[in-house]
Structure 1
Amino acid sequence: MKWTICIKNAGFEASLEARKLYNVEDDQKAQALGMIRVVDESGEGYLYPQEMFAPIVIQNSLEGQLLAA
């Protein structure tokens, strides 16, 4: 699973929390448009500009804990 962290949420304050981790869905079409599809608490994926996020790598043991939380 891919993870990202929100580094700015200007214009999307109601939808995104700065400094929060989000799961990323693989979406090649969105990437070609400079967008990223992140999954929120409801389990739905939404498109946002890529520059609002920074990719991160999480160790497998921590990833399991995050998914279980």
Structure 2
Amino acid sequence: MTQSKFVICKRNTGYEASLELRKLYLRLPDNTAKSHGQIRVVDESGEDYLYPTSFFIPIDLPASVAKQVAHTA
């Protein structure tokens, strides 16, 4: 099963400066993080960091939309 390339933030406790609620974030593949219950996302700093998986909802976008969103991130 493939992972969604994008996630929506549903919780940001302790990371209010780095994550905005209800915002779409780019998820980067990281199998080590996954094994620890975390995912790697590009946050408000523009850098990728690890966050708890429970903070996000995976979302599948149509390919044409995902391509446009990825290019603006």
* TM-score interval (norm. to shorter): 0.7 to 0.9
Using the size of structure 2 for normalisation, the TM-score is 0.83
Q: Aligned residues, how many?
A: 69
Computed over aligned residues only, the root mean square deviation of the Cα atoms, in angstroms, reads: 1.6
Q: Which runs of 5+ in 1 are unaligned?
A: none
Q: In 2 relative to 1, CA 20–14 (structure 1 residues): closer, same or farther, beyond 3 Å?
A: same
* In the alignment, structure 1 residue 44 sits paired with structure 2 residue 71: no
| Residue of structure 1 equivalent to 2:19 | 16
Spell out, residue by residue over 1:14-62, the C-alpha distance to the aligned partner (whole angstroms, 9 max, x if none).
1100000111111011000000100135542100000000100000111
Report % sequence identity. Answer: 51
* In the alignment, structure 1 residue 5 sits paired with structure 2 residue 29: no
Q: Which runs of 5+ in 2 are unaligned?
A: none
Using the size of structure 1 for normalisation, the TM-score is 0.88
